Amino acid sequence: MAIQVQVCETFISIQGESTWAGMPCFFIRLAGCNLHCVYCDTGYAQSGGEPATVSELVEKFRKTGLGLVAVTGGEPLIQPGTTALLQELQSCGTVLIETNGSRDISGIPPAVIAVMDIKCPSSGESEATDWKNMQRLRPRDEVKFVVGGREDYLWASGVMREHDLTKRCQAVLMSPVSDLLAPAELAAWILRDRLPVRLNLQLHKIIWSPTTRGV
């Protein structure tokens, strides 16, 4: 039987986060999430969705003519068909998976790039982190902290140091929670501490309205 996944939406947009920010990208947003972050902006993806086969999604990506695809959610790693989807998408381009850090990332195919959140305390979900994932990171993977305030920033800096994250992966990203922390404030902390992270702003929310879906 053809492998299926439950899909919330697919769309073409500018990649808004990670070191791939700014690149045209095909997004496959899978439905369902195991967490409930207080600032979640994709609540509509937490349930429901429509089934699609892996081959249908690969064909959709191929037809876009783009070279970059991001599998996102919700949380993509809660679906058993996700590994097969990642595997097959590789035949058409570079594949990113955006994951919340609570699920084992070791099944992600080697050439697929994980952009892994480490949930800070203000998310309400930092205890859900699977800390063994720090050892599972591969050199091309990226780690992202979404920072809601000073407490989150200090916590994230400590996690970075404790797990030597800058040596473990391609990039460590810090992004302010919109409406909670001004980018200038986060930038000032990073500069003062000479912290080797990338300030990451959600580009798609700057280009379009923060509430616009499918971009």
Q: Are 137 and 169 in contact (CB under 8 A)?
A: yes
Using DSSP's 3-state secondary structure scheme, residue 212 falls into coil
Task: Pick the binder of ligand SF4 from 100, 122, 126, 133 (CB under 6 A).
Answer: 100
Shortest approach of ligand SF4 to residue 186 CB, angstroms? Answer: 18
> Is 40 a binder of ligand SF4 (CB under 6 A)?
yes
- Alpha carbons 71 and 32: distance in angstroms, whole number: 13
How many residues are given for the chain? 215
> Is 180 a binder of ligand SF4 (CB under 6 A)?
no
Shortest approach of ligand SF4 to residue 193 CB, angstroms? Answer: 26
Task: Pick the binder of ligand SF4 from 33, 70, 95, 172 (CB under 6 A).
Answer: 33
Shortest approach of ligand SF4 to residue 43 CB, angstroms? Answer: 7
Residues 6+ apart with CB under 8 A from 188: none
> Is 36 a binder of ligand SF4 (CB under 6 A)?
yes
Task: Pick the binder of ligand SF4 from 26, 57, 75, 96 (CB under 6 A).
Answer: 75
Q: Are 41 and 66 in contact (CB under 8 A)?
A: no
> Is 7 a binder of ligand SF4 (CB under 6 A)?
no
- Alpha carbons 105 and 160: distance in angstroms, whole number: 18
> Is 118 a binder of ligand SF4 (CB under 6 A)?
no
Choices 56-64, 73-81, 82-90, 153-161; region in contact with ligand SF4 by CB under 6 A: 73-81
Q: Find the Cα–Cα–Cα–Cα dihedral 37, 38, 41, 47, rounded to 10°.
A: 50
Cross-strand partners of 143: 116, 172
Q: Which residues bind ligand SF4 (CB under 6 A)?
A: 33, 35-37, 40, 42, 73-75, 100
